[in-house]
Structure formats: structure tokens, C-alpha cells
Structure 1
């Protein structure tokens, strides 16, 4: 999602890429810790999205946490929407966007669950 904001601000989409830790250029911004109260709240809320919230009907592996989303575009009484889901499991974070697919809970969350299930 940070890449989306960067593309809007800069006017250019730059796809994410994986870089080995020893190849990351020196300099740049240092990591900043989040406020413990914020981390605590999110670590409670994001697993709850899967256990009892908008993604409760999707079979995620144990230890998964996430957030569903629906991004409407266009116009009209019921505009079309992109389906999205962001999440983490252990030290793996991911984002799924399915263009024009509707609700995040109905499309992007199941895609995310299948992704996590196929990692093992």
C-alpha cells in the first residue's frame, strides 16, 4: 500500500522488489518503532478480522492476521470496487489486490488464505 501512495505522489509506479538484507544500500531513513499502544491494538484487531470479523468465513492458517478492504472507483449508485487484503503471519507480510473484484472479504481474503496455505 505504501507503493500506491508513492506512485500517486511521484506520478510513477515502481513495482516492489525483494532485496537481500546485505544488498540494501546504506543510508536512508532509520527504522522507527511504533508506539507500543498502537502495536498492541493492531495485534489484537488484525487477528480478530480473521477470527470474528469480515474474514471470519475464510479458512486462514493459525497465526494469521489481516485487514480486508474494498476500494470503490468510478461513479454511480453502486460503483465498481477493487478487492484488497493486507496481512501478516510470523515474519511474512503481504498485500493482495484484485482489480474490479468487489469486496475484500469475498475475493482478496480467500486468495490470501490460499497463498498462506501453499507456503508449507
Structure 2
């Protein structure tokens, strides 16, 4: 899949990118599940949670500054956490994501 640049709060035009195939969606879900099951998001539960962490380095400092992020999902819930000037996504974002998911779970009860 190629990224699509969206400017000024717009959205991609219909048909501007192909839909993710069922096979690719299954593979992506399995990879994101592994990040939770055996990777940097192992603190997330339940057994069906999926997620991904990331870090974007920027600037000319040595070491460079970083923005970090975490995306996670479970059933019909998805959330994203972005931390400006954070540490690694798993270090900075995961504790915040846990609070977000716990609050969402409490709100659903």
C-alpha cells in the first residue's frame, strides 16, 4: 500500500487507493498481534488486542529528539497515542495507552 498525502484536514478521494485485500488484512492483524503477544506492547490485554509502537527522530541534536506513538485495538475499539518529545513509543506511549484502554473499557460497562 502506498501512503496518500492529505492536506488541510481533507480526506483521500474515493478510489484514490485500493482497499486492503483480505489476505493482507489478515497478515497485518497477525503482525500487530505479535507486537502485543511477544513484543513491546506485552502489557496490553486481552489476548485479542493488537498494536504497534513507533518513534520518529528529528532535528540535528545528537542523539536526535524523538516523537513517539502507539496504536492499539481490540474488537470495535481503536486508539492512538502520540507523545511529542517522548522516548521510545513502548516506553512513553504504552502506559498512556493502557490508561486510555482502561478508561474506554470502564465507560463501556
CA contact (8 A) 1:70 1:83 kept: yes
RMSD: 2.1
2:81 corresponds in structure 1 to: 96
Separation in 1 of the partners of 2:40 and 2:72? 13
Aligned length: 96
Runs of 5+ consecutive residues of structure 2 not aligned to the other structure: none
Q: 1:39 aligns with which of 1, 25, 30?
A: 25
**TM-score, normalised on structure 2?**
0.75
Q: Deviations over 1:34-74 (max 9, x none)?
A: 21221111111111111111222x2x230221100001111
1:80 corresponds in structure 2 to: 65
Q: In the TM superposition, what are the counterparts of 1:1-120 in structure 2 within 5 Å?
A: 5-6=5-6, 10=7, 12=8, 14=9, 29=14, 33-56=19-42, 58=43, 60-62=44-46, 63-119=48-104, 120=106
**TM-score, normalised on structure 1?**
0.69
Deviating 4+ runs (over 6 angstroms) = none
Shift of 1:96: 0.8
Runs of 5+ consecutive residues of structure 1 not aligned to the other structure: 15-27
